[in-house]
Structure 1
Amino acid sequence: MSATSCVSEDQILCSICLDVFNDPVTTPCGHNFCNTCISQYWSSKVQCVCPLCKEVFSERPELKVNTVISEIAAEFTQSTKNKTSSNPEQPAAKPAEVQCDYCTGTKVKAIKSCLKCEASYCVFHLEPHLTAPRLKLHQLIKPMDNLKERMCKKHNKPLELFCKTDLTCVCSLCPILGHKNHEFVPLQEEYEEQKAELGKTVAEIQQKIQQRQLKIQMIEQSTKLSREAADREKAHGDQAFTTLREHVEKSQTDFIRTVEEQEKSTEKLADGFIKELQQEISELKGSAAEREQLSHSEDHLHLIQSFPAISIVPPTKDWTKVRVHQRSYEGSVVKAMAPLGETISKAVKMLLKKAELKRVQHFAVDVTLNPETAHPELILSDDGKQVHHGNDRKKLPYSPKRFDRYINVVGKQSSSSGKFYFEVQVEGKTDWAVGMAKESVNKMGGTLRPQEGYWTVMLKNINEYKACAGPSIHLKLMSKPKKVGVFVDYEEGVITFYDVDTAALIFSFTGCAFTHNLLPYFCPCTNNGGKNSAPLVISAVGE
């Protein structure tokens, strides 16, 4: 029977390094340690104390090699190597994989490395580290080739601590022998701390990436909107210049036609005169020939008898005052272009109005009526787009949001910054009022004027248009609006009303200092016995 069969693995492991004895020595108290381990241990202490029984020695004992333990440890190491010299059931490690240090035949892929043993193990050779109590205490990591880099070069021990003073990784002996009074933390603790910091750094980088991606999206969106605006502007420009070209071409055609008609009139008059003169010339030539022939006659009697009739010159038209005046065309171009300039001016003004309306329509908001604010006599459509007066007062619970005195209603959507636009169809109505109102207006009364939170225009008595500016301003409109556009520029303090069909400006409230939410305001007025029963309709912009 071999010596190793009589001892357990714990009995051949050094209690300091937790590995199989290497050059074992025995202390006077009878305990065994690796010579290097106990020497380094005592060098770090003021007194020489046994690590196991804590016996104190007045002087550093002279240590002697324990030959028995040495032989048993050597036999155990050799038997372990022999027993685990090959692992034929496992495939050989690939070139890029870490090899098992204990496979003597085919080198198998290592699955763990031990920092204490400075070796890597395959599944088969790792078993002692998973079963032996002392070896279980060794630190196993994923297989690595550079294990020596994880060992302290001064003390040949694993780098287990982090020196915060020198910012270096050290072993357990470094704090005693070389880094006195320094601040140390376990390597795992520093790892977790730096990992957390690294996580914060990664998160910050990711945030920067997201911010820049968002900035790219914003730039791309701005570029897209700019391109769309440019396309719209080019389309408006094409339309404007096409209109101008049409006016110019029509004026040019009219001018040429007028000149040509005048020219033809002159030529026709001249042709008539020429034909008439040619006719007289022909008749006079005939008379002259007849008289010339008679003058050569030798019949004295015939000449004398005919002379009274042919002695008189035939009557002709008096052409002395007849003139075909040369027509002067000087100034015709200027005269023809004078109304063209006025036409173009009107066309340009109309195009500018349409362009301005197109610009504000870009800020259109999909407005719907808020039934919680509607006066009890108002009837709202299911889609919240139409409202008209219905005479009968509905029994509704009290609400501070609801208009009670005037038959008003406001929209759900509010304006508290930027720009805001919507359109209301007013066709077929004899009375109405639309505009904007503060969200906080008095729902139980009040007057339609800015001082009380209303900016509105209204129609009264079919043709009487007013801007409710407090006092009201009578408006003279070129045409009766069928659809009214309402535009709010909150920061500029401006509310503008447009006749959508003609793009004409109806009225603008300027110099307003808005500090509250503004809501779209609608008043269909009473139905006036059916004469004003048509609803106010919030229409989609562009329809």
Structure 2
Amino acid sequence: MASNNSSSFLRDQLLCSICLDVLIQPVSTPCGHNFCMNCISTYWDSVTDCRCPICKEHFKTRPNLKVNTFILEVVTQFQLQQLPEIHARPVAVAAVAVEAAAVGGSHNVRCDVCPGDTQDAFMSCVQCQRSYCHAHLEAHETDGTLRAHTLVAPLENLVVRVCQEHHRLRLHFCRDDGQLLCDTCAAGRHAGHHFVPVEKACQEKRSVMVHMEARALMMMDKRREKVGALKEAVTQNRADTRDMLGKFAGSFGKLLSELLGVRDWLEKVTQEKQKADESWSDKMMVSIEKEIVQLSSTVEKMQELKNTKDQLLLLLQDDVALPLTEDLQVMSRSTLTQDVHMSVKTAMTKIQELVGSMSRDMEVVWSTGGEWQVVTPLQDLLQYQEEVLLDPDTAHPLLLVSEDRKQVKYGLSLITAQVPKPSMFTEHLAVLGTRGFSSQRFYFQVFVGHKTEWCLGVATASIQTRETLTRSTSTGLWAIWFLMNRFEAYGCPDVPVHIGKVELVGVFVDYHGSKVSFYNVQTEELIYSFTDCHFREELFPYFNPCDNEFGFNMEPLVIVPVSPTDD
């Protein structure tokens, strides 16, 4: 018991009053108090006047402290006493054995001399930088030169662990230079640097690695979740593709059948028309040839009468009458080309009606801006409807949110003093939905009525609420902006994407498809689509009713459910 009390007392005397740990590179101040060299140096660097942290004695000039070798030896002896076993070698050797334990001695190190690397090592030699079993260690016990070598507990990688300049174990880690140091290096060219025991540096590094490992595992989980969601999306897309191809096959089969029927009908009509025209033409040519003969006879009579020299005979002769003939205008008939043209026009009208029906019943391909996109019919999106409520904590102070959180409009609130909230918009007249969406498809509808200006879409969770949003694609906002009579994509200012007014807007988001689409619900017409959006966080519905800058605009934006007739 007395021994334990003595050891505890000695440990208390060897503690640094600053770091409260056993002294490392102990130094003594002129007033007689002991500290770690790094601790007292750091303390004096942080204060304006140089004084002792314990007795507060003031020093006119900063003392040039040196390592107190006597106290260093006492610390070494104290550490030696804390080991349960130590080999009977000189004190210096035993002290290094303590050092070996501090840097991670191992009992699984193999003897470097035994063939086959099968015998466990008993000790390691700092100078030889090799490990030996009991048998091969005998030379270090008998040879006079080798007896001066320093033996330590078995260690691996001695070349790294031993200071090649001073042949001492590296017990310290210099944080300033990121190097392992022995006592001599620490007291020499690294004096004044911030260094800690190797064991503590390892603990800190392990702590950092544990944190990084946890973060990596979390990232792996998120990515596994992402992969699962992507696989689910791929499966869903495959099913959608099969359905779409089935619809295409049926519709195009019907279209092809119609086209073949139109072709057969045109061929039949054309052939019948040709035969009728040929028969009619033959009859007309026979009749016309008869009229030509009659006219020719009449012309001969006129020529004879015209050429007579007897004036009385010319005057008394009855006039020669022209034969009765058909009016050539009445005899004319519409040409084959004109009739065929009318037939083709009629057929094309039927085909256009069929294609229009196809475009309403299935996905069709359309081109805008030189890029092909797939437009999903509005009826197919209604199944993804989600309940959307407004979050008053995000609403700009000049916006009024209804009690049921389904409407928002511009206007002065009766509450004149609002407590600012971190999530509140202060630069844009906007409000977000309460719920964020990710890894899924969702759809909602908003009644905009006859408003002259509004902005509607979805925004990321990290959207800036206290700053002006730049109108670019990197803002984190995918929205359309209606102004007077035209639409613009918020990220592409002054570029109209649609002309005309809309009263009811449908917003559809395909998170994994990286797509946001806006529809005119009444006409089921696509207004605009954002593609290749690369979402990385939750998306929140975004509403901006705007002010009265362009005329009366006090009507609210109203979130409305899908009506039963739309199902």
Q: TM-score range by the shorter chain?
A: 0.3 to 0.5
Structure with the greater alpha carbon radius of gyration = 1
- After TM superposition, the score normalised by the length of structure 2 is 0.40
- After TM superposition, the score normalised by the length of structure 1 is 0.42
